[in-house]
């Protein structure tokens, strides 16, 4: 049940009215009060006019996934009143702009109504039309602050930070805040039983979105060439890289950039540029979403076969084709694992938190260059675009970039009989050279056509098979280089397996099950190809629930396909309506599929 520091509030707004920053202000205030917070933006593919929602879960226990059931609705958008009224939990609250009378059809006997004449207040107090609209948002934040006992000094501090350099905006914001708060204290007598109380549960954690984290991770990981094509929900990742690079990567003396970013004409060109730059020895990446990965398939095949390192971030969105561009899913798993025609296979990373977005992104370059193959970081819209409470970013100043097997001029002098695709170390990873290194040694021809160990074109069957088998060996090597799964094994009969943003809901569902008397083990997969620990975990358990945010249980298919597992052991728990998965969904999916009572 909802209580102190444990409730869900949803804001229903009109897109393009400035509500997002007011709603974030609410979430950030809770966070600053030391209370764990989970904000989710549920927005349309639209710039102005359509309904948009912002949901904030406040969780004393620190759960970071969504929770079903809305305790408090801030209903600002008459277009969505019907849906918004219906989605409030019985006994919950519905706050609306009472400048206009609420129509009878929106009245439910089992919920509380709080009318605040937001527009009327703003019309009286502000003259400018845009200000009237913007401050309406702050008026409802003020009303909420009063109803839910937020710390006003924290909000005022946040205003001061937000309007640094534009100080004259601070006073009217504070005025709007107290207009809302005063209305509540003068007119409302029955307050919700749930509210926010200051705690010290946040620690050193940060509140940040995964795209910002990944963009920063790319700066730290040494990326210097970026090419991309705008697509929701990945756009802000490159935007973050650019902002950080302009701040951190401009030469102090010359004013010149130690990076370059090109907005390409399409995704084909974006990944082509990344490949050209990587081939030539710069760390390079692109960010896109499912439709972009479809277009990039051609180059992914070339990179796999000609063994050029590539780093690609897929911030997954919902659906086949254009689908639901502003909704979240984990539905590009199979596409990414086997992208392009012929026999191909790619390294995938599955971050669950912004800290992992940062960390995996910075490591992805070591991995790609170490293996000379594409590495795809599989983020999603929920992780990429929503703010998450996350461990802070960490960096070890002793760390050196691992550039992989690249022979320079001096080394080329010493090597006898160098061949670009010779498996010298028997780990499947050959030695490469960069253009311009040596006047007479190390030049070779990179090609997507079949080639021998010396990069010469060949249609010889034995040679083709030999090269393809070496690529298999390379993927074996990859298993020991990618991040290992996170396993919690208490010797129980059942296990739950998940990856990416399903993690938070799954961890909570696991706790809920344990509270109800059923203990399960868990494994969070962080990468593909799967290593032996993954197999061992599955084989040790009678039943393993595979939780995913797609329709076809794509990771389950990948597990079965790659490890010849018994499919009957792997039970699907799926959620794919485009909203982030909640613990309730995971719990229901598991409860309705328990195979035996042996637990």
Partner 1 sequence: MSYSKPVFHHPNLTKNALGYTKKDYEGSLSTLCAGCGHDSISAAIVEACFELNIEPHRVAKLSGIGCSSKTPAYFLNNSHGFNSVHGRMPSIATGANLANRDLIYLGVSGDGDTAAIGMGQFCHVIRRNLNMIYVVMNNGCYGLTKGQDSATADKGSIAKAGNMNPFEGIDLCSLAIELGATFVAQSFSGDKSQLIPILQAAMSHKGFALVNVISPCVTFNNNNGSTKSYDYVREHNESMGRIDFVPIGEEITTQYADDEVKEVKFHDGSELLFHKLRKDFDPENKIEVINAIQNARSKNEILTGILYLDRHGVELNDLLNTTAVPLNQLTEKELCPGSSMLDEINQGYR
Identify whether the C-beta of residue 503 lies closer than 8 Å to the C-beta of residue 522: no
Closest separation between CB of residue 424 and partner 1, Å? Answer: 20
- 219, 377, 538, 585: which one binds partner 1 (CB under 8 A): 219
- CA separation for the pair 471, 456 (Å, rounded): 17
- 22, 30, 176, 275: which one binds partner 1 (CB under 8 A): 275
- 456, 466, 473, 551: which one binds partner 1 (CB under 8 A): 456
Residue 501 is a binding residue for partner 1 (CB under 8 A): no
Residue 435 is a binding residue for partner 1 (CB under 8 A): yes
Closest separation between CB of residue 162 and partner 1, Å? Answer: 12
- Between 271 and 467, whose beta carbon lies closer to partner 1? 271
Question: Binding to partner 1 (CB under 8 A): which residues in 312-331?
Answer: none
Number of residues that bind partner 1 (CB under 8 A): 74
Residue 216 is a binding residue for partner 1 (CB under 8 A): yes
- CA separation for the pair 221, 212 (Å, rounded): 14
Per-residue x/- track, 457-476, partner 1 (CB under 8 A): xxx-----------------
- Between 98 and 162, whose beta carbon lies closer to partner 1? 162
Residue 433 is a binding residue for partner 1 (CB under 8 A): yes
Residue 417 is a binding residue for partner 1 (CB under 8 A): no
End-to-end CA, the chain: 27
Closest CA to 522 of 490, 570, 480: 490
Tokens of 33: 């009060």
Identify whether the C-beta of residue 430 lies closer than 8 Å to the C-beta of residue 307: yes
- Between 395 and 567, whose beta carbon lies closer to partner 1? 395
Q: SS3 for 62?
A: coil
Handedness of CA 43, 46, 47, 50 (dihedral sign): negative
- Between 280 and 593, whose beta carbon lies closer to partner 1? 280
- Between 37 and 581, whose beta carbon lies closer to partner 1? 37
Residue 284 is a binding residue for partner 1 (CB under 8 A): yes
Question: Binding to partner 1 (CB under 8 A): which residues in 240-259?
Answer: 248-249, 251, 254-259
- 35, 134, 225, 478: which one binds partner 1 (CB under 8 A): 225
Neighbour order of strands in the sheet with 37-42: 37-42, 51-59, 6-14, 70-75, 88-97, 112-116
Closest separation between CB of residue 248 and partner 1, Å? Answer: 4
Tokens of 40: 């989710």
Q: Is 431 exposed, middle or buried (0-12, 13-18, 19+ CB in 10 A)?
A: buried
Tokens of 346: 């790619």
Residue 26 is a binding residue for partner 1 (CB under 8 A): no
Conformational region of residue 307, where left means phi above 0, alpha means psi within -120 to 50, and beta covers everything else: left
- Between 247 and 426, whose beta carbon lies closer to partner 1? 247
Query: What pairs with residue 375 in β-bridges?
Result: 311, 347
Give per-residue burial for 399-412: e unless 16+ CB within 10 Å, then b: eeeeebbebeeebb
Residue 86 is a binding residue for partner 1 (CB under 8 A): no
Handedness of CA 142, 147, 151, 154 (dihedral sign): negative
Question: Binding to partner 1 (CB under 8 A): which residues in 383-402?
Answer: 392-397, 400-401
Query: What pairs with residue 112 in β-bridges?
Result: 93
Conformational region of residue 358, where left means phi above 0, alpha means psi within -120 to 50, and beta covers everything else: alpha
- Between 150 and 275, whose beta carbon lies closer to partner 1? 275
Residue 208 is a binding residue for partner 1 (CB under 8 A): yes
Concatenated DSSP letters of 93-138 = EEEEETTSPPPGGG--TTSEEEEE-HHHHHHHH--SHHHHHHHHHH
- Between 334 and 434, whose beta carbon lies closer to partner 1? 434
- Between 441 and 569, whose beta carbon lies closer to partner 1? 441
Residue 408 is a binding residue for partner 1 (CB under 8 A): no
Residue 157 is a binding residue for partner 1 (CB under 8 A): no
Closest separation between CB of residue 502 and partner 1, Å? Answer: 24
Residue 341 is a binding residue for partner 1 (CB under 8 A): no
Question: Binding to partner 1 (CB under 8 A): which residues in 186-205?
Answer: 204-205
Residue 106 is a binding residue for partner 1 (CB under 8 A): no
């Amino acid at each position: 049940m909802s209580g102190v520091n444990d409730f869900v509030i949803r804001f229903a707004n009109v897109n393009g009215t400035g509500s997002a920053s007011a709603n974030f202000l609410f979430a950030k205030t809770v966070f600053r009060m030391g209370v764990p917070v989970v904000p989710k933006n549920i927005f349309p593919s639209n710039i102005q006019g359509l309904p948009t929602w912002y949901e904030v879960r406040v969780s004393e226990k620190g759960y970071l996934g969504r929770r079903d059931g809305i305790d408090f609705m801030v209903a600002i958008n008459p277009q969505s009143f019907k849906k918004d009224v219906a989605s409030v939990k019985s006994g919950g609250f519905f706050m609306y702009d009472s400048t206009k009378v609420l129509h009878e059809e929106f009245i439910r006997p089992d919920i509380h109504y709080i009318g605040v004449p937001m527009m009327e207040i703003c019309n009286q107090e502000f003259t400018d039309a845009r200000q009237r609209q913007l401050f309406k948002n702050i008026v409802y934040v003020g009303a909420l602050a009063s109803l839910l006992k937020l710390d006003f000094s924290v909000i005022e501090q946040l205003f001061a930070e937000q309007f640094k350099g534009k100080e004259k905006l601070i006073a009217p914001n504070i005025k709007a805040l107290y207009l809302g708060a005063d209305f509540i204290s003068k007119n409302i007598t029955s307050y919700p039983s749930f509210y926010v109380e200051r705690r010290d549960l946040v620690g050193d954690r940060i509140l940040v979105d995964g795209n910002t984290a990944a963009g920063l991770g790319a700066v730290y990981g040494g990326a210097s060439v970026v090419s991309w094509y705008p697509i929701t929900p990945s756009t802000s990742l490159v935007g973050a890289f650019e902002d950080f690079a302009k701040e951190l990567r401009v030469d102090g003396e010359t004013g010149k950039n130690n990076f370059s970013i090109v907005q390409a004409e399409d995704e084909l060109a974006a990944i082509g540029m990344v490949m050209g730059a990587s081939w030539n020895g710069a760390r390079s990446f692109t960010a896109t979403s499912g439709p972009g990965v479809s277009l990039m398939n051609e180059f992914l095949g070339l990179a796999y076969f000609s063994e050029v390192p590539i780093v690609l971030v897929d911030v997954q969105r919902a659906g086949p084709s254009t689908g639901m561009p502003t909704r979240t899913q984990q539905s590009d798993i199979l596409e990414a694992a086997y992208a392009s025609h012929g026999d191909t296979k790619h390294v995938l990373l599955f971050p669950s938190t912004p800290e992992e977005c940062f960390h995996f992104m910075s490591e992805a370059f070591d991995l790609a260059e170490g293996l000379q193959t594409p590495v795809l970081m599989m983020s999603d819209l929920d992780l990429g675009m929503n703010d998450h409470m996350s461990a802070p970013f960490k960096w070890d100043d002793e760390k050196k970039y691992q550039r992989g097997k690249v022979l320079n001029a001096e080394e080329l002098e010493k090597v006898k009989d160098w061949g670009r695709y010779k498996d010298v170390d028997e780990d499947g990873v050959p030695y490469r050279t960069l253009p311009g290194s040596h006047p007479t040694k190390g030049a070779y021809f990179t090609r997507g056509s079949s080639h021998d160990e010396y990069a010469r074109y060949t249609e010889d069957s034995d040679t083709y098979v030999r090269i393809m088998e070496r690529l298999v060996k390379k993927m074996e090597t990859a298993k020991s280089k990618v991040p290992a799964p996170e396993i919690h094994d208490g010797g129980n009969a059942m296990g739950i397996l998940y990856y990416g943003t399903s993690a938070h809901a799954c961890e909570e569902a696991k706790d809920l099950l344990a509270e109800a008397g059923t203990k399960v083990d868990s494994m969070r997969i962080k990468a593909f190809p799967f290593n032996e620990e993954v197999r061992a975990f599955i084989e040790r358990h009678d039943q393993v629930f595979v939780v995913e945010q797609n329709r076809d249980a794509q990771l389950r298919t990948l597990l079965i396909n790659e490890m010849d597992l018994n499919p009957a052991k792997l039970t699907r728990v799926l959620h794919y309506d485009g909203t982030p998965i909640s613990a309730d969904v995971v719990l229901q999916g598991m409860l309705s599929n328990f195979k035996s009572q042996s637990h």
